[in-house]
Amino acid sequence: GQNIDQPTEMTATEGAIVQINCTYQTSGFNGLFWYQQHAGEAPTFLSYNVLDGLEEKGRFSSFLSRSKGYSYLLLKELQMKDSASYLCAAIDSNYQLIWGAGTKLIIKP
């Protein structure tokens, strides 16, 4: 079956760095998305990776290793507003999105 695994919850300190991991098992692979979702709100797009390597966008970076079925989202200089759930979603061979359950990130002062 197809599966996305990511930690349920993580805690980090304001100003620090946190890495949220995501492993995926899909039938085929056509890329991976990261989304941010604040409580009670809809997800917003953060990044898309389809090639191996690191994509950097300001304080947020996303990494992909296709051979390992692994991705991570790196958040630097954490701010209180970064408290949210972070969803990992992989695209399978049928171009369907397979969603992880999300990682709830708690930022402490």
Partner 1 sequence: GAVVSQHPSRVICKSGTSVKIECRSLDFQATTMFWYRQFPKKSLMLMATSNEGSKATYEQGVEKDKFLINHASLTLSTLTVTSAHPEDSSFYICSARVGGEIASPLHFGNGTRLTVT
Per the CB < 8 A criterion, the answer to whether 20 and 7 are in contact is yes
Cβ closer to partner 1: 67 or 94? Answer: 94
Q: Binding mask 37-76 vs partner 1 (x if CB under 8 A, - otherwise)? A: ---xxxxxx--x-x--------------------------
**Nearest CA among 73, 70, 66, 63 for reference residue 30:** 66
The angle subtended at Cα 60 by Cα 13 and Cα 99, nearest 5°, is: 95
Interaction of residue 100 with partner 1, rule CB under 8 A: yes
Piece in contact with partner 1 (CB under 8 A), picked from 11-19, 56-64, 65-73, 95-103: 95-103
